[in-house]
Amino acid sequence: MWKSLHIDPARCTGCLQCEMACSYEHTGIMNPAKSRIKVFSFEHEGRKVPYTCTQCSEAWCLNACPVDAIRIDLGTGAKMVFEDTCVGCKVCTIACPFGTINYSQDSGKVQKCDLCAGDPACAKACPTGAITYIDADWTGYGRMQAWAAKANTPATTA
Amino acid sequence: MGWNRKILRVNLSAGTCTEEPLNMEWAQDYLGSRGLATKYLVSEIDPGVDPLSIDNKMIMATGPLTGTMASTGGRYTVVTKGPLTGAIACSNSGGFFGAEMKFAGWDMVIFEGRSPTPVYLFIENERAELRDAGHLWGKSCWETEDIIKRQHQDPQIRISSIGRAGENQVLYACVVNDLHRAAGRSGVGAVMGSKNLKAVAIRGTRGVAGIKDFPAFMQATQAAKKVLADNAVTGQGLPKYGTQVLMNVINEMGALPTRNHRDVQFEEAGRISAEAMHEKRASDGKPHLVTNAACFGCTIACGRISEIDKGHFTVKNNPKYWGASGGLEYEAAWALGAANGVGDLEALQYANLICNEQGMDPISFGATVGAAMELYEMGVLSEEQIGLEAPFGSVEALAKMVELTAQGEGFGKELALGSKRLCEKYGHPELSMSVKGQEFPAYDSRGIQGMGLAYATSNRGACHLRGYTVASEVLGIPVKTDPLVTEGKPALVKAFQDATAVFDSAGICVFTSFAWTLADVQPQLAAACEGDWSMEKLNEVGERIWNMERMFNNAAGFTSRDDTLPPRLTQEPAKTGPAKGLVNRLGEMLPEYYSLRGWTPDGEPSAETRTRLGL
């Protein structure tokens, strides 16, 4: 069973623990500038929104790559960048509609969310449950449940 | 390691930026942030210096946990000699600026001299340069952040700046970062203004690599975060209600200073409380509060983001204030509200927004308005002098006074001096509710006895963040003590003061201490920093920092006579509530406190104490 990162912006406080966890997982130091998940703050609306790759089934980045450096991890469904193949041409960064694959000047390659081999550091670090890692088929389960609760039907009487 | 081992020295007179190694011997004795920056300051300036002169220095400093995954590890401190008090000024702030300084590779920035023209410091990792700020002078903190980000075409730059108040050297001007976080007290923003330094803008992409033992650090920070999450105050109360959770609690205790401390309970406290911020307004059906918000790395998220009522008379013609913005926190709500008898939540938020926008400490500002209102009611100040009628409770007067002070106009120029100078000027020094020239925060020491001693002995003048015995006397943290007795309070105050110095110097938020003791901080520091960071060492570091600050103040001319409270608190009994009939009994506590500190009866650290602490 594949899982998906599920983001609930309404729970996000903007603490950036996810960005630090992501950078630590991938670079060994705490450096939000190298994080593959970013939290955006819309100050005048009071909104904070974490944003990262959603692992498209038909991934624009994967299809655009001229050297097949982006491949699917069959264990997690993550679209993985293979750095030894990537030539840093950045075509994938143009192809991705969401901007969630980015070039790194340090490595000369692109980087994106790889789901941390099935145990995403961002979700583990999130203190409020704004980022969770759940059954890919049921990312709407929580919201359905919340609306079901609002249906306000009587308990079964029989 | 924890430290970047690198400081930036900016000589504003010469226009130079120079890299220096961090003094690692000092780091072992003073930890970082508050402690280490103060060590640099006291080693480099004459204690007698005029705070607003070219010879004063100002330091912005991070701690070893700043910029790390330690919860609340995002704080930085601004240390200088304060113009409001003439004592050590040491104000810390959250937001994101401190972590960015760390990510750029610096532990602290020392500013010296005075620029001939307005400048801002721009730091991009190793690169640091002073740039012309002629186009920023006269702008608010909010405009300054916006302009710098646009100019550099980088929305990820973090900025700390002064507004009109700092430029005009309002004596309680603050330094504002990330729109609504502030190094708030003692007038650190006025010092920045006196140096013609408008802003510090930082972009750091190097991260924090210097953790001594990463796996141990991750384990220690994880365990400590769980302690915060499981605690009722840090896990539930603060995220939901913010610091405002205290408004009704402190009012019921009879310790909510009201109308310049004439009263200890405010009949309209409920209208300006956390609960009121959650209620839907009659005018537009929306609650005042929009959401809570975290500073960098904070897993508590006590910050309040609110939307003012667009129809309120203060803002109805001024759409720039209509969006979501910071506030109200408890101290600001009290100082702008109860301290003046104003019970209009929207008006308080308006005043708070102006304080954020133009960089003023709402505590000292609000308390100074309270003093002015009392002088007005006594007939000492007239309507002509102030510019409008200003009795206690006047919403219009509060709104007008905040505008005048922020813009440096009319009676605002007098309010800009703080309550001590204002009350002295008009012949009633006893009406300034302050210690060492700095106004009290939101706890009346007749109803919380330990706070009287904490205020009287605070190294930066009256302050709740130097020894928050409210935690014990009101909330029962770590143990409940009776707020109405003085017994045991000297030891309690000393313990809080020393421990707080460590929290501040580590680069974390003192609000963690609702749940954490030093024993929760210790494993995090020990994993991050090289050297011995045992509990014993931490206690000693805290005590050393406290005594160092005290010795600076002594050298600046402060004596035991300045460890005092206004006569209103020691002679006029509380009129209502559980503390009815009581005054603060500071005299019962002070000698024992000096003795516990190892100080002479004149309030100076004895030779023995200095030797023991290596001072």
Rounded-to-integer distance, Cα A65 and Cα A86, Å: 9
Rounded-to-integer distance, Cα B461 and Cα B443, Å: 14
Rounded-to-integer distance, Cα B257 and Cα B483, Å: 15
| Helix residue ranges per DSSP H, A71-137 | 91-95, 121-125
Nearest to B226 by CA among A127, A121, A24, A11: A127
With a cut of 70, say whether residue A146 has pLDDT above it: yes
Mean pLDDT, rounded, for A19-39: 97
Q: How confident is the model at residue A158 (pLDDT cuts 50, 70, 90)?
A: low
- Which residue is closest to B292 within chain A, CA to CA? A13
- Which residue is closest to A34 within chain B, CA to CA? B205
Rounded-to-integer distance, Cα A6 and Cα B242, Å: 27
Q: Does B229 touch chain A (CB under 8 A)?
A: yes
- Which residue is closest to A17 within chain B, CA to CA? B297
The amino acid that residue B10 corresponds to is V
Angle at B57 between CA B81 and CA B599, to 5 degrees: 40
Q: List CB contacts (< 8 A) between A20 and chain B.
A: 68-69, 297
Tell me whether residues B301 and A128 touch, CB distance under 8 A: yes
CA B441 to chain centre: 10
Nearest to B357 by CA among B97, B95, B140: B140
Closest in A20, A34, A44 to B324, CB measured: A44
The C-alpha of A49 sits at a distance from chain B's nearest C-alpha, in angstroms, of 12
Q: Does B154 touch chain A (CB under 8 A)?
A: no
Q: Does B297 touch chain A (CB under 8 A)?
A: yes
- In angstroms and rounded to an integer, the radius of gyration of the C-alpha atoms of chain A is 18
Q: How confident is the model at residue A152 (pLDDT cuts 50, 70, 90)?
A: confident
Q: List CB contacts (< 8 A) between B98 and chain A.
A: none
Phi, psi of B150 (to 5 degrees): -70, -45
Q: Which of residues 450-479 of B touch A (CB under 8 A)?
A: none
- In angstroms and rounded to an integer, the radius of gyration of the C-alpha atoms of chain B is 22
Nearest to A43 by CA among B462, B146, B337: B146
Pair B433, B257: CB distance under 8 Å: yes
Closest in B103, B156, B296 to A15, CB measured: B296
Tokens of B368: 């100074």
- Which residue is closest to A31 within chain B, CA to CA? B207
Closest in A17, A30, A128 to B208, CB measured: A30
Q: List CB contacts (< 8 A) between A13 and chain B.
A: 239, 292-294, 298, 301, 303
Tell me whether residues A47 and B291 touch, CB distance under 8 A: yes
pLDDT tens per residue, range A89-138: 999 999 999 999 999 999 999 999 999 999 999 999 999 999 999 999 99
Instruction: Judge residue B241's burial from the number of C-beta atoms within 10 Å of its C-beta, 0-12 exposed, 13-18 middle, 19 or more buried.
Output: buried
Tell me whether residues B207 and A48 touch, CB distance under 8 A: no
Peptide bond into B328 cis (omega under 30): yes
Output DSSP code: residue B338. G
Could you tell me which residues are beta bridge partners of residue B59? B79, B110
Tell me whether residues B290 and A13 touch, CB distance under 8 A: no
Phi, psi of A37 (to 5 degrees): -115, 135
Q: Quick check: helix, strand or coil at residue B439? A: strand
In this structure, the number of other CB atoms found within 10 A of the CB of residue A80 comes to 18
Q: Does B599 touch chain A (CB under 8 A)?
A: no
In A, what residues contact B, Cβ < 8 A? 13-17, 20-21, 23-24, 27-34, 43-48, 125, 127-128
Total beta-carbon pairs less than 8 A apart between chain A and chain B: 85
Tell me whether residues A29 and B307 touch, CB distance under 8 A: no
Chain mean pLDDT for chain A: 95
Q: Does B225 touch chain A (CB under 8 A)?
A: yes
Closest in B211, B299, B307 to A15, CB measured: B299
Tokens of B147: 């302009």
Q: List CB contacts (< 8 A) between B323 and chain A.
A: 43-45
Q: Does B294 touch chain A (CB under 8 A)?
A: yes
Q: Quick check: helix, strand or coil at residue A142? A: helix
Q: List CB contacts (< 8 A) between B205 and chain A.
A: 31, 33-34
pLDDT score, position A154: 83
Tell me whether residues A24 and B291 touch, CB distance under 8 A: no
Closest in A16, A33, A47 to B207, CB measured: A33
Q: Which of residues 195-224 of B touch A (CB under 8 A)?
A: 204-209, 211, 214, 218
Pair A97, A60: CB distance under 8 Å: yes
Average confidence (pLDDT) per 10 residues, chain B, 615 residues: 93 98 98 98 98 98 98 98 98 98 98 98 98 98 98 97 98 98 98 98 96 97 98 96 96 98 98 96 94 97 97 96 96 98 98 98 98 98 97 98 97 98 98 98 98 98 96 94 97 98 98 96 97 96 98 98 98 98 98 98 97 97
Tell me whether residues A46 and B295 touch, CB distance under 8 A: no
Tell me whether residues A23 and B207 touch, CB distance under 8 A: yes
Nearest to B177 by CA among B205, B207, B145: B145
Tell me whether residues B293 and A20 touch, CB distance under 8 A: no
pLDDT tens per residue, range A32-48: 999 999 999 999 999 99
Tell me whether residues A17 and B291 touch, CB distance under 8 A: no
Nearest to B348 by CA among B361, B335, B360: B335
The C-alpha of B301 sits at a distance from chain A's nearest C-alpha, in angstroms, of 6
CA A146 to chain centre: 23
Q: List CB contacts (< 8 A) between B509 and chain A.
A: none
Tell me whether residues A15 and B205 touch, CB distance under 8 A: no
Could you tell me which residues are beta bridge partners of residue B237? none
Tell me whether residues B67 and A30 touch, CB distance under 8 A: yes
Q: How confident is the model at residue A84 (pLDDT cuts 50, 70, 90)?
A: very high
Pair B3, B25: CB distance under 8 Å: no
pLDDT score, position A155: 82
The C-alpha of B3 sits at a distance from chain A's nearest C-alpha, in angstroms, of 13
Could you tell me which residues are beta bridge partners of residue A49? A40
pLDDT score, position B1: 65
Q: Does B301 touch chain A (CB under 8 A)?
A: yes
The C-alpha of B518 sits at a distance from chain A's nearest C-alpha, in angstroms, of 22
The C-alpha of B175 sits at a distance from chain A's nearest C-alpha, in angstroms, of 19
Q: What is the DSSP string of B260-315?
A: TTTBS--TTGGGGSHHHHHSBPTTTS-BSEEEEE--TT-SS--EEEE---TTSTTT
Tell me whether residues A45 and B324 touch, CB distance under 8 A: yes
Beta strands B119-124 and B197-203 are parallel
The amino acid that residue B133 corresponds to is A
Q: Quick check: helix, strand or coil at residue B587? A: helix
Q: Does B592 touch chain A (CB under 8 A)?
A: no
Phi, psi of B514 (to 5 degrees): -65, -30
pLDDT score, position B288: 95
Q: What are the Cα distances from residue B405, in Å, to B3, B198, B339, B354, B521?
A: 39, 19, 17, 10, 40
Closest in A30, A34, A46 to B68, CB measured: A30
Tokens of A31: 């450096």
Q: List CB contacts (< 8 A) between B208 and chain A.
A: 29-31
Phi, psi of A105 (to 5 degrees): -65, -30
Rounded-to-integer distance, Cα B191 and Cα B84, Å: 10
Instruction: Judge residue A97's burial from the number of C-beta atoms within 10 Å of its C-beta, 0-12 exposed, 13-18 middle, 19 or more buried.
Output: exposed
